[in-house]
């Protein structure tokens, strides 16, 4: 069997479900297949078995009808199973996709508002909504009701929705800025083992917190993309975007400022990739309001280490397991190795779920720029990328895939809705 069409979860769009009613997760279903190496937990392919599909065959995504409270119907998809946490119904509105199950983090107020504005409906016209998988697709009947946006916590599942507020009423200093992110992440920067790429790609990377001085060399890829034309990102690297060379040329000839194409190369050959270039975004501006965001300082016993310790103190301690002398020796060496990694003292913030910018700092900003502030937790660190609406309009107009734009407020505070 030749390699099927592989799609990352975030890339699945309405057309995919129009032509193919059932998709199956490759990571569990294709373990013995030659393309398994190209997949991860997020990769799906068209389901080719006999219908109705049996949910025990793997992780299925099944085309569904979403009927809003006002009776209007939309295309969507669900996963067979019991409970909303498994079914996780998704609705397509134009080219965009929205979900209602937010897991521990919940669904941000901004995402809720964006659903309302995409539908051009108030919450009471939308919720409660019903969903129903197309009949004959799976052996289980799947239907249910969504009352709002769901969030899981230690004491159970909470349902709520925020009242409608007109985003265009927010006073703005003229232009509208968007935070730009990728719909999906595919592949790992090479060499991925031991995060070795950090030292190759960046000047003065910190192996503890992930912050670096600047990019000094191209990202290295494992293989040709073979993916549809559009924007992509690598896993772990949230502030570098890649696109086919002709797309970047079109962006530049449309007069968009603040970017230039940079090479991407294959590993280990070092040969330049012809199917993609990096969008280099050289302008960095200190522009994100961060006063309410949790800081993470790169130092021993930092904010995150203290939070984890506090969590453990509350739990009764269990007697420590003992291991073989060889294993104990191995752990001791590991601890020594980790303890030897230096701290850089730099500060990042937990990433906000709704972003506020400082408009005074943005005068004369190009169409694309990144924040000078760092975000992330643990060993992960990245800058936020912003685009003026001129760029998001161009992306929509040309129907380029792979990017998401979230409105960044120009007053108030950046906030993180935590679990
Ligand atoms: Zn550091």
Give the tens place of pLDDT for each residue, 290-304: 999 999 999 998 998
Per the structure, the complete domain to which residue 17 belongs is given by 7-164
Say if 268 falls within a structural domain: yes
Q: Please say if the pLDDT value at position 382 is more than 80.
A: yes
Say if 293 falls within a structural domain: no
Query: How many angstroms does the Cα of residue 289 sit away from the middle of ligand 1?
Result: 22
Taking the C-alpha atoms of residue 119 and residue 404, their distance in angstroms, rounded to an integer, is 17
Do residues 235 and 373 share a domain? yes
Instruction: Indicate the average pLDDT of the chain.
Output: 89
How many domains does the structure of the chain reveal? 2
Do residues 149 and 188 share a domain? no
Query: How many angstroms does the Cα of residue 333 sit away from the middle of ligand 1?
Result: 22
Q: Please say if the pLDDT value at position 213 is more than 90.
A: yes
Please report the pLDDT score of residue 163 as a whole number: 85
Please identify every residue whose CB atom is under 5 Å from ligand 1, which is an ion.
Answer: 206, 208-209, 298, 344
Do residues 276 and 380 share a domain? yes
Q: Domain boundary at 164, 186, 219, which?
A: 164
Taking the C-alpha atoms of residue 299 and residue 407, their distance in angstroms, rounded to an integer, is 33
Query: How many angstroms does the Cα of residue 347 sit away from the middle of ligand 1?
Result: 8
Query: How many angstroms does the Cα of residue 338 sit away from the middle of ligand 1?
Result: 13
Say if 203 falls within a structural domain: yes
Q: Domain boundary at 131, 164, 197, which?
A: 164
The pair of structure tokens assigned to 194 is 């031991």
Say if 201 falls within a structural domain: yes
Lowest mean pLDDT among 4-18, 152-166, 259-273, 335-349: 152-166
The pair of structure tokens assigned to 320 is 């420590």
Query: How many angstroms does the Cα of residue 309 sit away from the middle of ligand 1?
Result: 20
Taking the C-alpha atoms of residue 236 and residue 344, their distance in angstroms, rounded to an integer, is 20
* Full DSSP string of 224-275: ---S-SB-BB-TT-TT-EEE-HHHHHHHHHTT--S-EEE--EETTT-PBPSS
- For residue 158, give every residue at least 6 positions away whose Cβ sits within 8 Å of its Cβ, in sequence order, or none: 106, 150, 151, 152
Do residues 182 and 128 share a domain? no
Query: How many angstroms does the Cα of residue 207 sit away from the middle of ligand 1?
Result: 7
Do residues 159 and 197 share a domain? no
Please report the pLDDT score of residue 227 as a whole number: 58
* Pairing, β 220-221 against β 265-266: parallel
Do residues 146 and 271 share a domain? no
Please report the pLDDT score of residue 411 as a whole number: 85
Lowest mean pLDDT among 130-134, 169-173, 353-357, 397-401: 169-173
CA–CA distances in Å: residue 297 to residues 85, 276, 302, 342, 380: 34, 35, 6, 13, 13
Do residues 144 and 48 share a domain? yes
Query: How many angstroms does the Cα of residue 196 sit away from the middle of ligand 1?
Result: 16
Query: How many angstroms does the Cα of residue 335 sit away from the middle of ligand 1?
Result: 18
Query: How many angstroms does the Cα of residue 238 sit away from the middle of ligand 1?
Result: 17
pLDDT tier at 45, thresholds 50, 70, 90: very high
CA–CA distances in Å: residue 59 to residues 26, 30, 139, 151, 227: 8, 11, 14, 22, 22
Taking the C-alpha atoms of residue 296 and residue 346, their distance in angstroms, rounded to an integer, is 9
- Phi and psi at 303, nearest 5°, equal -55, -40
Q: Please say if the pLDDT value at position 319 is more than 60.
A: no
CA–CA distances in Å: residue 269 to residues 223, 264, 272, 293: 11, 12, 9, 42
SS3 per residue for 95-152: CEEEECECCCCCCCHHHHHHHHHHHCCCHHHHCCEEEEECCCCECCCCEEEECCEEEE
Answer yes or no: are the C-beta atoms of 262 and 406 closer than 8 Å: no
For the stretch 338-346, contacts whose Cβ atoms lie closer than 8 Å and that sit 24 or more positions apart, written own/partner, are 341/207, 341/208, 342/206, 342/208, 343/206, 343/208, 343/209, 343/298, 343/299, 343/300, 344/206, 344/208, 344/209, 344/211, 344/298, 345/297, 345/298, 345/299, 346/206, 346/209, 346/211, 346/297, 346/298, 346/374
Say if 340 falls within a structural domain: no
pTM of the model: 0.70
Say if 376 falls within a structural domain: yes
List pLDDT tens digits, range 336-375: 888 888 999 999 999 998 899 998 898 889 999 999 999 9
Query: How many angstroms does the Cα of residue 233 sit away from the middle of ligand 1?
Result: 23
List pLDDT tens digits, range 145-181: 999 999 998 888 999 998 887 554 444 445 689 999 9
Please report the pLDDT score of residue 170 as a whole number: 44
The pair of structure tokens assigned to 24 is 């199956």
Do residues 83 and 158 share a domain? yes
Do residues 34 and 107 share a domain? yes
Q: What are the helix (H) ranges across 314-388? A: 325-339
Q: Please say if the pLDDT value at position 103 is more than 70.
A: yes
Do residues 51 and 160 share a domain? yes
Say if 338 falls within a structural domain: no
Q: Domain boundary at 124, 142, 164, which?
A: 164
List pLDDT tens digits, range 61-73: 999 999 999 999 9
Please report the pLDDT score of residue 299 as a whole number: 93
Dihedral of alpha carbons 250, 254, 259, 260, sign: positive
Average pLDDT of 276-290? 95
Please report the pLDDT score of residue 228 as a whole number: 59
Query: How many angstroms does the Cα of residue 383 sit away from the middle of ligand 1?
Result: 14
Say if 212 falls within a structural domain: yes
Percent of the chain with pLDDT over 70: 93
Q: Please say if the pLDDT value at position 333 is more than 90.
A: no
Helix axis angle, 245-253 to 389-398, nearest 10°: 130
Do residues 277 and 197 share a domain? yes
Do residues 244 and 375 share a domain? yes
Q: Please say if the pLDDT value at position 43 is more than 80.
A: yes
Please report the pLDDT score of residue 171 as a whole number: 43
């Amino acid at each position: 069997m030749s390699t099927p069409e592989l799609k990352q979860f975030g890339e699945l769009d309405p057309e995919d479900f129009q032509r193919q009613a059932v998709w199956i997760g490759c990571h569990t279903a294709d373990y013995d297949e030659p393309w398994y190496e190209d997949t991860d937990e997020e990769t799906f392919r068209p389901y080719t078995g006999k219908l109705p599909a049996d949910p025990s065959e793997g992780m299925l995504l099944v085309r569904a009808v979403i009927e809003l409270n006002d009776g209007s119907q939309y295309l969507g998809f669900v996963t067979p199973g019991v409970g909303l946490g498994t079914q996780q119904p998704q609705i397509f509105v134009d080219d965009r996709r929205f979900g209602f199950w937010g897991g521990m983090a919940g669904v941000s107020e901004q995402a809720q508002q964006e659903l309302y504005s995409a539908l051009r409906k108030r919450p009471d016209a939308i919720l409660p909504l019903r969903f129903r998988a197309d009949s004959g697709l799976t052996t289980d009947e799947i239907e249910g009701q969504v009352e709002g946006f769901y969030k899981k916590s230690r004491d159970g599942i909470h349902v709520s929705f925020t009242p409608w507020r007109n985003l265009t009423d927010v006073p703005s200093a003229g232009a509208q800025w968007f935070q730009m992110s990728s719909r999906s992440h595919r592949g790992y920067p090479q060499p991925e083992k031991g995060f070795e790429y950090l030292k190759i790609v960046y000047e003065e990377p910190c192996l503890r917190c992930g912050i670096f001085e600047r990019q000094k060399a191209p990202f290295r890829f494992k293989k040709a993309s073979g993916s549809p034309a559009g924007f992509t990102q690598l896993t772990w690297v949230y502030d570098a975007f890649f696109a086919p060379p002709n797309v970047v040329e079109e962006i530049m000839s449309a007069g968009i400022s603040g970017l230039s194409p940079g090479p991407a190369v294959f590993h280990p050959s070092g040969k330049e990739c012809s199917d993609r270039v990096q969008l280099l975004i050289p302008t960095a501006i200190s522009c994100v309001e961060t006063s309410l965001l949790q800081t993470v300082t790169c130092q021993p016993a930092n904010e995150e280490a203290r939070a984890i310790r506090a969590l453990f103190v509350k739990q009764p301690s269990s007697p420590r397991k003992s291991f073989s002398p060889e294993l104990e020796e191995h752990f001791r060496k590991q601890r020594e190795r980790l303890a030897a990694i230096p701290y850089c003292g730099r500060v990042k913030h937990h990433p906000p779920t709704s972003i506020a910018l400082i408009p005074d700092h943005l005068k004369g900003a190009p169409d694309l720029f990144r924040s000078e502030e760092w975000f992330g937790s643990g060993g992960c660190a990245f800058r936020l990328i912003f685009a003026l609406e001129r760029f998001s309009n161009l992306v929509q107009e040309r129907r380029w895939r792979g990017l998401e734009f979230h409105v960044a407020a120009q007053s108030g505070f950046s906030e993180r809705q935590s679990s």
